[in-house]
Amino acid sequence: MSGRRLRTLVLREVRATLRDPFTMTILVTVPLVALVLFGFVLATDVKHLALGVHDASATAASRRLIADLGASGTFDPRPYATRGALEHALVAGTISVALVIPPDFDRDLNGGEPPQVQVIYDGGEAPLAGNAEAFVRSLLVRSGASLAPPAAAPGGVEVVTRALFNPRLEGKPFMVAGTFGFVLSFLTTIITAVSIVNERLTGTFDQLQVTPATSAEILLGKLLPLGAVFAFDVVVMMLVAGFVLGVWPQGNALLFVAVSSGYVFFSLALGLYFSATSGTAAEAVQKTVLFSIPLVQLSGFAFPTRNMPFVFRWLAEVFPATHYIRVSRAIYLRAAGPEALAWELAVLALSGVVFMALALRTIGART
């Protein structure tokens, strides 16, 4: 391993990359677009959801109930004169939730019998209905308790809820921290794979091999600049997340950059492996995409791994992306320090080393 030769190779790679405006554009725009896209897309707080109401009771109490549901900003109540019109609106998709208050609501409320209301959700949009359900039920229980005459109130325990780390339960920080995992797992691998396959196809890889440089030097000469670019990407993403989306890391920013740079090398190794086993650039991309779908879906990027069936929960643990995204959220949102993350960091480091060794062996056998 010669430092001078390595430096030459690195310089060559940097020049080649800078001369390729398309790759440069991808490297800069994709992370930023992904960040903004994912940051805005997930709003967990149900807001201004169309709530159809058929109020057959039309008393002060039922109107109070509807007003309570509307007051939180979660629902926009819309009155419907008949039950049929309400059901039609649900089928047509103009409302997501339908509330039916029966004619004897007020009488039951004061007569000791618990009054019944009916709630129908549009289950077609399951995630939306799931969130709406949780809100409707707790709002109804709370509002009903205040409506009922004191004697009828059978107790109930008031819950004072406080969300740590993200008091307003915004979707943005969750998605931003996950997007680092998405970009560093996917973009990194795909860029590496294509870049090396292309060199093999154009013959420049063979040219490099007849120079005095060893294979290890050639590969390092490719990987180091790429790694540096992605480490730079991480910093740019952090700044954009902060200034555009208002999401700054709660924990140690340096620790986050260090962990991310380490994780980049795992992705580079994966890209190296795909490039070694592919004949054309298109094939390398197909392989990466095929592999990245489960990587991203199983890693808890969008849906928590704990909700998955048993077998897949364990499968997810095998993917380094799962651990990286976990670490990323822990540092970004919960200000966790290295001591709380020791296990996850160890898994990441180990898989990085194993994959790099595997990739180097595969590409060594090929060249």
Partner 1 sequence: MSRRFWSNVLAVAYREARIVRHDRAFLGVVLMQPIMMLVIFGLVLSNKPANVPWAVLDRSADAVARRLVAEVQATGYFRPPRRVASYDQARDLLRRGQALAVLVVPEDFGRDVERGRPRVQLLLDGSDPLSAARIGAYVAEVAGAFATRVVPASARHAAPRLPGPIDVRQRFWFNPTLSDRVFFLAAFAGMLLTNLCLSVTSGGLVGEREMGTYEQMLALPTTPLEIVLGKLVPYVVVCYGLLVFAVLSSGLVFGIWPQGSWPALFAITLPFVLASLAIGVLVSVLAQTTAQSVFITVFFIMPSFVLSGVMYPYQFMPRGVREVGGLFPLRWYQLALRRIVERGAGFAEVLGPALALAGLFALLLVLVRWRMKPRLG
- In angstroms, what is the C-alpha Rg of the chain? 28
Question: What would the two tokens of residue 222 be?
Answer: 């490719």
Least spacing, CB of residue 116 vs partner 1, in Å:
5
Least spacing, CB of residue 285 vs partner 1, in Å:
4
Could you give the count of Cα atoms lying within 13 Å of 285 in the half-sphere of its Cβ?
8
Residues forming a β-bridge with 52: 78, 98
Report phi then psi at 52, rounded to 5.
Answer: -80, 135
Least spacing, CB of residue 166 vs partner 1, in Å:
3
Residue that the structure tokens 């797992």 belong to: 185
Least spacing, CB of residue 155 vs partner 1, in Å:
4
For residue 17, with 0-12 CB atoms within 10 Å meaning exposed, 13-18 middle and 19 or more buried, which class applies? middle
Nearer to partner 1 among residue 118 and residue 207 (C-beta): 118
Nearer to partner 1 among residue 81 and residue 126 (C-beta): 126
Question: What would the two tokens of residue 95 be?
Answer: 């409302």
Question: What would the two tokens of residue 168 be?
Answer: 């307003």
β-strand 75-79 against 97-101: which pairing, if any? unpaired
Least spacing, CB of residue 46 vs partner 1, in Å:
8
Least spacing, CB of residue 187 vs partner 1, in Å:
9
Nearer to partner 1 among residue 217 and residue 329 (C-beta): 329
Q: Sign of the C-alpha dihedral, residues 120, 126, 128, 131?
A: positive
Nearer to partner 1 among residue 282 and residue 318 (C-beta): 282
Residue that the structure tokens 């993200």 belong to: 166
What Cα–Cα distance (Å) separates residue 20 from each residue in 31, 133, 200? 18, 52, 17
Least spacing, CB of residue 324 vs partner 1, in Å:
14
- Residues 121, 126, 129, CA angle at the centre, nearest 5°? 40
